[in-house]
Structure 1
Amino acid sequence: MSRATIVRAYLKAIELRKDVLGFYADDIVQEEFPNLLAPAGATRTLADLKAANARGQDVLRSESYEIVSLVEQAEVIACEIVWKGVLAIPLRTLKPGDTMQARFAVFFEFDGDKIRRQRNYDCFEPF
């Protein structure tokens, strides 16, 4: 399976609320650079991603990922993604049922067929 296919399957699994931990290498590091929801950014290990995945199930009713562009070079996939999330809880000025939208630039580094590093540059629309 190509790495581009793996990234597409990974994003689809998130949309379908399936367990995505099998996509990660054991030493995964995910970096989220500063944005409206994480002003200080964040760095997450596999254990952190497990916890974040569980929390996300309570925050969103649903979410979607539209890949606008995808570039593959050696061990790295770079994606531009339009993300939409329907809230299950109130968040700042938004109420349950409202939709948030963002553009993400996500860089995936692979070790074989597993995601070893993921860097997210998330640009949320004002809310």
Structure 2
Amino acid sequence: MSDTESNPNIRTAVRYHQAVSRFAGPEELASFFHPEAVHTQLPNALFPNGTLRRLPELLAASQRAPKLLSHQDFEVINVVASGSQVAIEATWSGTLAVALGELPAGHVMGAHIATFIEFREGKIVAQRNYDCYEPLRSGIASDQPAEGKYA
């Protein structure tokens, strides 16, 4: 068994991402979190001012996701742990169930994500997300770099 597989916080963090991917209900999601949990989403294309949510707001937001997305998936690329903290590098894709701005229903959005999770008593007590979304407009060829995009 590798260090990654034997670390209980890593296993919990990966299981949590799997649960989010399949739109797990609030009861299941709550089981991953410490009652004092705080989720911080740093500013990004969808949340230009970022967000700060305590557990009740986080669970409420999770219930809105299936109304906006028909499918989503996290692919964990890398995960490391140090003490009570876990860092996950992942890609995310989500298929819109409804139109979002100029993006039509059925459009597949993508993001590159770094998530830093702190555990207390085996539960997530803090989560910080750095979400880098692919361009949020239709008609951009995926093999053509957008202005200013890395090559």
TM-score normalised according to structure 1 size:
0.96
- Alpha-carbon separation, structure 2, partners of 1:100 and 1:46: 26
Unaligned residue ranges in structure 1 (runs of 5+):
none
1:4 counterpart residue number: 10
1:71 counterpart residue number: 80
Identity of aligned residues (%): 34
Q: CA deviation at 1:21?
A: 1.4
Ranges of 4+ aligned residues in structure 1 off by more than 3 Å: none
- Alpha-carbon separation, structure 2, partners of 1:113 and 1:8: 13
1:16 counterpart residue number: 22
2:38 counterpart residue number: 29
Aligned length: 127
1:80 counterpart residue number: 89
- Alpha-carbon separation, structure 2, partners of 1:109 and 1:64: 22
Q: CA deviation at 1:115?
A: 0.2
Which digits, 9 at most, give the CA deviation of each residue in 1:48-105, with x for residues without a partner? Answer: 1121011112001110001111110000000111000011010122111110000011
Q: Which has the higher contact order (CA 8 A, sep 6+)?
A: 1
Indicate the SS of the match to 2:112. strand
TM-score normalised according to structure 2 size:
0.81
Indicate the SS of the match to 1:117. strand
Q: Greater CA radius of gyration, 1 or 2?
A: 2
Which digits, 9 at most, give the CA deviation of each residue in 1:9-55, with x for residues without a partner? Answer: 11111112213111010000000000000000010001111210111
Matched, 1:93 2:102: yes
- Alpha-carbon separation, structure 2, partners of 1:56 and 1:99: 14
Conserved 8 A contact 2:38-2:52: yes
